[in-house]
Amino acid sequence: MNVGALVRQPLVVALALIVVLLAFGEWLSPGFAAPQQILRLLIVAALLGIVAAGQNLVILGGREGIDLSVGGVVSLSAIVAGNLMSGADSGIPLAILGCVATGALFGLFNGLGVTLLRIPPLVMTLGMLGVLQGLLVVIRQGIPSGRAAPALSQFVSQPFLLGLPGIIWLWIAIGVVMALLLTRTVFGHRVYAIGSNEHAAYMAGVPVRLIRIAIFVLSGVFAAIAGICLLGYSGSSFANVGEQYMLPSIIAVVFGGTPLSGGKGGYTGTMAGAVLLTILQSILTTVHIDESGRQMVFGATLILLMFFYGRGKAMRA
Amino acid sequence: MSKLKLSGVSKAYGATLALRRGDLEVEAGEVHVLIGSNGSGKSTLCKIAAGSVRPDAGEITLDGRPVHISGPQGARALGIGIFYQELSLAAHRTVEENICLTNLPLKAGLFIDRQALSARAARYIALFDGVAGDGFAADATVGDLRADQRQLVEIMKALATEAPILIFDEPTSALDSAQVERFFDILRGLKAEGRAMVFISHRMDEIFSIGDRVTVIRDGETVATSRIADTDQATVIGQMVGEPPARAAQAAPAASAAEEAAGEPVLSVRGLTGPGYSDISFEVRRGEIVGFGGLHGQGQSSVLRAIFGAHPVSAGEVTLKGERLDARSPRAAILHGAAYVSGDRSRDGIIQGRPIIENLTPIHYLRQRLVLARPAALREKARPAVEALHTRFAGYSHPINSLSGGNQQKIVIARWLIDRPDVLLLDDPTKGVDLSAKNDLFSLIRKLAAEGLGIVLYSSEDAELLANADRILVFNGGQVTRELAGDERTRFNLYRAAYEAA
């Protein structure tokens, strides 16, 4: 592969930008790229990366696939987890079960709305986000926010194996599972098939609706898992903790080389995208840009990315 | 002197010559019929006259003066109006708005004059009073109308241009006989006014009932122009076929040796009815290739897709291997042993941008109910199918788009051969496929038949049908109007059956 083709590989671009941003951060504020800091960045990136795994599947599945409700599911999951474990390690299995079921349920609603009712994913998941936000307000008034179990906090922030905390290993495992799922299973090939030519896939006997529903269910499940981890990271849950994940999860996917039109790309690039965005976020914090400023930067980044990657071919075939 | 004359016009799209040498002379006060088989260049010739296609060469004269038609606007300014075969209506607007769309009456040069618009549209709507059918009204939304009613609106829109020269490209394809009769009355009236009209139709009876002269076009060239009174159907068909009647009447060689040895029926269709086709019955035996012929769009594709579960069925039944098949989706049909290959590769066939191996395996996944996709094992499975078609490609992981059209279609066909189907439905499979790939495809198809598959082949190229099908069912207006078997399988008979009244 020549140099020109190499710089057009989104994964290569993302990895190069990671190095550049780390160097820039170190120059801005010495110690930015110290090993402990990098580890902390990776933990934060893992949270985003897990949400982006689901987002990645939804976008790969095409037909304008996007899941705007992931942030709401993350928040809800954190609250459900906090209440089910209420600070005790013994509550963790039930909390995991409860959260995964919650995430799957909302994903199922999204999937049914998109397939059976033919509501565009953008509208369907935006509506679902509204429902979730309302639900969160109601919950916050009636139920205590709940606390993380010690084991969960340890899993997220204390070294577990080879000096890395459990959440990093979880993320790596998810990366391996996603890669196998997409390249070595019939399900994965069918996701790509409906993402690149839904009609041809239908004519070749692919159960298009079933696959699309499964994609949204998985997106809900990944967001729920991220919600549990987020509870472990912050210690206690509060409403709307997950809101910050909606836009970045989409940007991470696009940065990683999966176009919004779907049908091509993969999760490895998305992982690099998640790390990249986390470093960018950290730099913005270092130079004292507040949350609203960060949101503006992220929004602008997505638009810029669409411009950059969209020039080759029109997004809608 | 001719009202409109096109001499030696030609048009190429890339390497495809759509029109080699088109000549057409239309006089004032006549209905001039243009006839030719699918893809002969009729529509291109009309589009050149209407300004929507720019010719590469040739001369156009109007009232004896050479003119340059700069575009659709220019054609309208010169007094040429056209009815388009592909309907060009605004679906969300009303009937009267559509009729006046090309020339909206304005108030103060800015606002639409609704009263003038209604009054003008009403004149044309009144022309079809009594035959337009239920629900047809000036304020009805075009999108809510039936196909025949939309076609009437399109006719009214062409009439409303009040152009001295009117071109009608298959205006009657969706109309019922009363509507056609009324339309012909209107044309006779326009003829009396001295207007010049070009009329394209595939129905011989219509041509001989309304036409004054007929021009036959074949393979992009104008072959002959004659007075309707001086010719007959057999002569016109002979001109379209392009061979002296004696040779065109020769039967194609016995298509397959399996003809006598044909096995038990594998597919049987009884009274199948749905949108675009009605009361279709036929049987396919193992080892047999049954051809679907006729003009393009007479229901052949709809029937094949209906059997495959991809087009609605309202009545009738399909039996596959003695079992009732009510396929509500392609998935169900595939699991019963049916296979379908569409000529519209990019829409129905290939999974764009994905590796060749992923384009080969979807049917295998379904029929074997696989969960894991092991690349090495899948490549082993796919190799015989791919080799049987002499497919050339660099590697299984290369994207399907890196192949030529012919090789892409080979991959699509090969996906059905990993697990043998019982019935292969071919829906114009060689559209846009190069000659050598075509040969490979047809030798494979004959081989599959010899191995006991039942095959249904629809082709828009008559030569393919005549060379490969054991029997040919000729479709006309959504029904099978003629069956040609044995010595009857001649080009002449095929044309005659295709062009006779439905």
DSSP notation for B421-479: -SEEEEESTTTT--HHHHHHHHHHHHHHHHTT-EEEEE-S-HHHHHHH-SEEEEEETTE
A226/chain B closest Cα distance in angstroms: 27
For the record, the structure tokens of B246 come out as 């004696």
- Kindly identify which residue of chain A lies nearest to residue B327, measuring between CA atoms: A205
A187/chain B closest Cα distance in angstroms: 7
Same domain, B296 and B443: yes
User: Nearest-CA neighbor of B412 among B361, B471, B353, B481?
Assistant: B361
Q: Give the span between the Cα atoms of A37 and B423, in whole angstroms.
A: 64
B454 reaches A (C-beta below 8 A):
no
The enclosing domain of B55 has a CATH number of 3.40.50.300
- With an 8 Å Cβ cutoff, are A193 and B362 in contact? yes
- Kindly identify which residue of chain B lies nearest to residue A262, measuring between CA atoms: B353
Same domain, B41 and B102: yes
For residues B499 and B181, the model is more confident at: B181
Q: Give the span between the Cα atoms of A122 and A126, in whole angstroms.
A: 6
Same domain, B241 and B314: no
Q: What is the mean pLDDT of chain B?
A: 86
* B242 has a pLDDT exceeding 80: no
- With an 8 Å Cβ cutoff, are B373 and A203 in contact? no
B401 in a domain, yes or no?
no
CB-closest option in B351, B370, B372 to A193: B351
Size of interface A-B (CB pairs under 8 A): 81
ipTM over 0.90? The verdict is: no
Torsion of CA A158, A283, A302, A291, to 10 degrees: 80
Amino acid at B487: D
A298 reaches B (C-beta below 8 A):
no
Residues B210-214 have a mean pLDDT of 92
Residues B320-330 have a mean pLDDT of 89
> What percent of chain B has a predicted confidence (pLDDT) above 70?
94
B396 in a domain, yes or no?
no
In the three-class reduction of DSSP (H, G, I as helix; E, B as strand; rest coil), residue A226 is classed as: helix
- At residue A316, the pLDDT reads 38
B335 reaches A (C-beta below 8 A):
yes
- Kindly identify which residue of chain A lies nearest to residue B346, measuring between CA atoms: A200
Of A114-118, A303-307, B163-167, give the lowest mean pLDDT range. A303-307
Of A300-314, B33-47, B364-378, give the lowest mean pLDDT range. A300-314
> How many structural domains comprise chain B?
2
* A8 has a pLDDT exceeding 70: no
- At residue B114, the pLDDT reads 85
B376 reaches A (C-beta below 8 A):
no
- At residue B137, the pLDDT reads 86
- With an 8 Å Cβ cutoff, are A200 and B349 in contact? yes
Residues B440-455 have a mean pLDDT of 91
B251 in a domain, yes or no?
no
CA distances from B74 to B49, B53, B78 (A): 11, 12, 6
Cα angle, residue B214 at apex, residues B213 and B216 outer, rounded to 5°: 160
> Which positions in chain B touch A204 (Cβ < 8 Å)?
330, 334, 351, 362-363, 366, 415
Same domain, B81 and B22: yes
Same domain, B296 and B222: no
> Which of B246, B269, B301 marks a domain boundary?
B246
A205 reaches B (C-beta below 8 A):
yes
Same domain, B221 and B264: no
Same domain, B192 and B312: no
> Which positions in chain A touch B358 (Cβ < 8 Å)?
189, 192-193
Same domain, B150 and B42: yes
Cβ atoms of residues B96 and B138 within 8 Å: yes
User: How many CA atoms, within 13 angstroms, populate the side-chain half-sphere of residue A170?
Assistant: 25
Say if strands B111-112 and B221-227 run parallel, antiparallel, or are unpaired. Answer: unpaired
- Kindly identify which residue of chain A lies nearest to residue B415, measuring between CA atoms: A204
A187 reaches B (C-beta below 8 A):
yes
> Which of B200, B217, B246 marks a domain boundary?
B246
Q: Give the span between the Cα atoms of B41 and B20, in whole angstroms.
A: 8
What are residue B205's phi and psi, to 5 degrees?
-65, -40
- At residue A315, the pLDDT reads 39
In the three-class reduction of DSSP (H, G, I as helix; E, B as strand; rest coil), residue B8 is classed as: strand
Same domain, B136 and B75: yes
> Which positions in chain A touch B350 (Cβ < 8 Å)?
197, 200
CB-closest option in A201, A203, A264 to B340: A203
B414 in a domain, yes or no?
no
Same domain, B239 and B92: yes
> Which of B246, B276, B295 marks a domain boundary?
B246
Q: What is the mean pLDDT of chain A?
A: 87
B385 in a domain, yes or no?
no
- At residue B257, the pLDDT reads 47
CB-closest option in B349, B362, B370 to A206: B362
In the three-class reduction of DSSP (H, G, I as helix; E, B as strand; rest coil), residue B149 is classed as: helix
For the record, the structure tokens of B27 come out as 């006089």
> Which positions in chain A touch B329 (Cβ < 8 Å)?
202
- With an 8 Å Cβ cutoff, are B330 and A193 in contact? no
B356 in a domain, yes or no?
no
In the three-class reduction of DSSP (H, G, I as helix; E, B as strand; rest coil), residue A145 is classed as: coil
CA distances from B392 to A248, B381, B408, B431 (A): 43, 17, 10, 19
Domain that holds residue B287: 258-349+421-499
Same domain, B197 and B263: no
Highest averaged pLDDT of the listed ranges A137-146, A147-156, B282-291, B369-378: B282-291
Cα A66 → chain centroid:
11
B439 reaches A (C-beta below 8 A):
no
A200 reaches B (C-beta below 8 A):
yes
For the record, the structure tokens of B390 come out as 């002499």
Cβ atoms of residues B51 and B71 within 8 Å: yes
- The shares of helix, strand and coil residues in chain A, as percent rounded to the nearest 5, are 75, 5, 20
Residues B312-336 have a mean pLDDT of 91
Greatest CA separation for chain A: 61
Same domain, B157 and B127: yes
A185 reaches B (C-beta below 8 A):
yes
Q: Give the span between the Cα atoms of A86 and A301, in whole angstroms.
A: 38
A236 reaches B (C-beta below 8 A):
no
Say if strands B423-427 and B454-458 run parallel, antiparallel, or are unpaired. Answer: parallel
CB-closest option in B310, B335, B371 to A185: B371
Sign (positive or negative) of CA dihedral A264, A269, A270, A273: negative
User: Nearest-CA neighbor of A147 among A238, A221, A70?
Assistant: A238
CA distances from B33 to B6, B219, B300 (A): 15, 17, 26
Report pLDDT digits (tens) over A48-77.
999 999 999 999 998 889 999 999 999 999
Report pLDDT digits (tens) over A264-276.
899 999 999 999 9
- With an 8 Å Cβ cutoff, are A200 and B353 in contact? no
Cα angle, residue B129 at apex, residues B128 and B134 outer, rounded to 5°: 100
Cβ atoms of residues B343 and B413 within 8 Å: no
A257 reaches B (C-beta below 8 A):
no
Interface test with B, best of A189, A194, A196, A209 (most B CBs within 10 A): A189
- At residue A13, the pLDDT reads 81
- With an 8 Å Cβ cutoff, are A200 and B347 in contact? yes
Cβ atoms of residues B201 and B236 within 8 Å: no
> Which positions in chain A touch B301 (Cβ < 8 Å)?
none
Q: Give the span between the Cα atoms of B125 and B155, in whole angstroms.
A: 10
Report pLDDT digits (tens) over A120-136.
999 999 999 999 999 98
Torsion of CA A292, A295, A296, A301, to 10 degrees: 160
- At residue B68, the pLDDT reads 87
Amino acid at A75: S
* B41 has a pLDDT exceeding 70: yes
B269/chain A closest Cα distance in angstroms: 21
